[in-house]
A and B are shown apart, each in its own frame.
Chain A
Amino acid sequence: MSALELVGVSKSFGARAALAEVALSVGEREFVVVLGPTGAGKTTLLRTIAGLETPDRGEVRLFGADCTHSSPAARDIALVFQNFSLYPGKTVRENLAFPLLAPGRELAAGEIGERVQWAAKLLRIERLLDRPARKLSGGEMQRVAIGRAIVRRPRLFLMDEPLTNLDAKLREELRVELRELARRLETPVVWVTHDSAEALSMADRVVALFAGRVVQVGTPRELYLRPATPAVARQLGSPPMNLVEVLRDGAVWRLPNGDAFGAAASDAPQRALLGFRPEHVRLEGGASEALVEVVEHLGPQRVVVLRWGGATVHAAVASSVDVAVHQRLRPAVAAEHCLIWPR
Chain B
Amino acid sequence: MTSTAQRTRPLAWALVGPTLALLVAFNVFPLVYNIASSFTNAELIGGEWRSVGGANYARVFEDELFAGALRRTALFVLCAVTLELLLGFALALSLQRGVPGKQAVLTVLLVPMMLSPAVMGLYWNLVLNGNYGVVNQALSGLGFDPPQWLTDRDLKFWSILLIDVWMWTPFMMLIALAGLNAIPASIYEAAQIDRARPWKVFTRITLPMCAPVLGLAVLFRATDALKQFDLVMAVTGPNDAATQTLSTLLYQVVFRDGSVGLGAAFSCVILVLVIALATVFTRYIDRLQSKDVLA
| Chain A residues at the B interface, C-beta cutoff of 8 Å | 50-52, 71-73, 77-79, 81, 83-90, 98-99, 101-105, 132-134, 136, 141, 148, 152
Contacts and interface: CB of A to CB of B under 8 A. Distances in A.
Interface stretch (B81-89, B138-146, B172-180, B188-196): B188-196
Interface residues of B, number: 22
Interface string B188-217: 011111111100100011001100000000
A148 B209 CA distance: 20
B195 A83 contact: no
Nearest to B201: A87
Given A84-B295, A134-B295, A104 B195 contact: yes
B195 A87 contact: no
B293 interface: yes
Contacts of B196: 98, 101-102
A256 to B, nearest CB: 47
10 contacts: A52-B192, A81-B189, A81-B190, A86-B295, A89-B295, A90-B204, A90-B295, A101-B196, A102-B195, A134-B293
A79 B295 contact: no
Contacts of B45: none
B294 A87 contact: no
Interface in B73-107: none
A283 to B, nearest CB: 49
B194 A102 contact: yes
A343 to B, nearest CB: 43
A148 B193 CA distance: 11
B197 A85 contact: no
A52 B293 contact: no
A88 B195 contact: no
A88 B208 contact: yes
A111 to B, nearest CB: 17
Nearest to B211: A89
A72 B191 CA distance: 10
Contact of B193 (A72, A103, A105): A72
Given A83-B184, A102-B194, A88 B293 contact: yes
Interface in B144-197: 184, 186-187, 189-197
B291 interface: yes
B292 interface: yes
Contacts of B208: 88-89
B194 A99 contact: yes
Interface of B: 184, 186-187, 189-197, 200, 204-205, 208-209, 291-295
Given A73-B193, A79-B190, A103-B195, A87 B204 contact: yes
Contacts of B295: 84, 86-90, 132-134, 136, 141
Contacts of A104: 195
Closest 9 CB pairs of A and B: A102-B195, A99-B194, A133-B295, A88-B295, A73-B195, A89-B292, A85-B186, A134-B295, A86-B295
A72 B201 CA distance: 15
A98 B193 CA distance: 11
Contacts of B294: 88, 134
Contacts of A85: 184, 186-187, 189-190
A87 B193 contact: no
Nearest to B188: A85
Contacts of A87: 187, 190-191, 204-205, 295
Nearest to A86: B295
Nearest to B291: A89
Nearest to B195: A102
A99 B196 CA distance: 7
A61 B292 CA distance: 39
A98 B293 contact: no
Nearest to A104: B195
A105 B195 contact: yes
B287 to A, nearest CB: 12
Given A72-B193, A90-B204, A152-B194, 19 more contacts: A51-B193, A71-B192, A85-B186, A85-B189, A86-B295, A87-B295, A88-B205, A88-B209, A88-B295, A89-B209, A89-B291, A90-B295, A98-B194, A99-B194, A102-B196, A103-B195, A103-B197, A132-B295, A134-B294
Contacts of B187: 85, 87-88
A284 B285 CA distance: 72
Contact of A79 (B193, B292, B293): B193
A98 B196 CA distance: 8
A148 B295 CA distance: 14
A89 B207 CA distance: 11
B193 A83 contact: no
Contacts of B293: 88-89, 134
A84 B191 CA distance: 12
A81 B195 contact: no
Contacts of A72: 189, 192-193
Contact of B192 (A73, A103, A132, A134): A73
A90 B208 CA distance: 10
B253 to A, nearest CB: 47
B44 to A, nearest CB: 54
B104 to A, nearest CB: 23
Contacts of B190: 79, 81, 85, 87, 148
